[in-house]
């Protein structure tokens, strides 16, 4: 079985658990886990060469610049 299929099955289990969750925090936790498993499945398919990078939402290198965090209105580079 492909790894991505296993990841999708885990996502489906999390979705089922979310539907049966006894509380809102549990529901949100399972939904986040479901989303993470689906993202892993998609990335695994990309790693296996089954989908192009554009399906992953890849950004051009110039768009991947990290923003510096601001602390109390002062740029982190000034600290």
* Residue 17 to residue 22: CA distance in whole angstroms: 10
Query: Among 40, 34, 70, 72, which Cα is nearest to 56's?
Result: 40
This prediction's pTM: 0.67
Which residue, 68, 43, 72, is CA-closest to 58? 43
Q: What is the pLDDT of residue 61?
A: 46
Given a cut of 80, whether residue 12 has pLDDT beyond it is: yes
């Amino acid at each position: 079985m492909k790894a991505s299929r296993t990841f999708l099955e885990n996502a489906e289990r999390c979705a089922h658990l979310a539907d049966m969750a006894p509380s809102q925090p549990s529901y949100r936790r399972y939904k986040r886990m479901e989303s993470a498993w689906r993202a892993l499945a998609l990335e695994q398919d990309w790693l296996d060469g089954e989908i192009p990078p554009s399906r992953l939402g890849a950004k051009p290198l110039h768009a991947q610049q990290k923003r510096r965090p601001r602390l109390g209105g002062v740029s982190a580079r000034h600290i």
